[in-house]
Structures are given as structure tokens and as C-alpha cells.
Amino acid sequence: MSLLDYFKITKVSSASVAKERLQILVAHERSFKNQPSYLPQLQKELLQVIQKYVNVGQDSISVNFEQDDHQETLEVNIVLPDNHTKKS
């Protein structure tokens, strides 16, 4: 199953919810233990980029970060407000 298939499965169950959502996943497979992680800093910069495109407050953003010896995953879930599109 590809990751895109995963999104296709989950969208069915969430289609009943009217709110638009934006979900960002970052997975880093690591060869070596004890490397310094740059994902927390990366997360901040990713959110800054996102906020160029959509009006979204900090309270609409939930972040989940998991780490073990071989992999780090960063999951950011954003519920978009009804009038979220920024005019350029």
C-alpha cells in the first residue's frame, strides 16, 4: 500500500466533516543513532511557509512528534477556517 492509498482510505471516513483540513507528515529514516534532530526546527519553518498560503491560528494546529532509534516522524494536522484562503 502506498502512502497515497492511505490518504484515499482515510478521506472516506472524514468526508462527512465539513471543515477543510491540511495534513503534513515528515518521516526521516536514520542510519545512525544519536544524531541531532532538525525536525523540531524544520517544523517551525514548515508552519511559517503554510501560513503564507492560509490564514490559520496556532489553536487550529496540532503537532505529533515521535522518535526512536531509526525513525522520526512529525505529523502536523491543521483544521482550516471557512475563510482561510489568503489573497495574493
Interaction mask 3-42, its own copies, x per CB under 8 A: xx-xxx-xx--xx--xxxxxxxxxxxxxx---x--x--xx
Told to check if 70 binds its own copies by CB under 8 A, we report yes
Q: What is the CA radius of gyration of the chain?
A: 15
Question: Do the Cβ atoms of 28 and 65 come closer than 8 Å?
Answer: no
d(CA 50, CA 77): 12
Rule CB under 8 A: which residues touch its own copies?
Answer: 1, 3-4, 6-8, 10-11, 14-15, 18-31, 35, 38, 41-42, 45-46, 49-50, 52-53, 64, 66, 70-71, 73, 75, 85
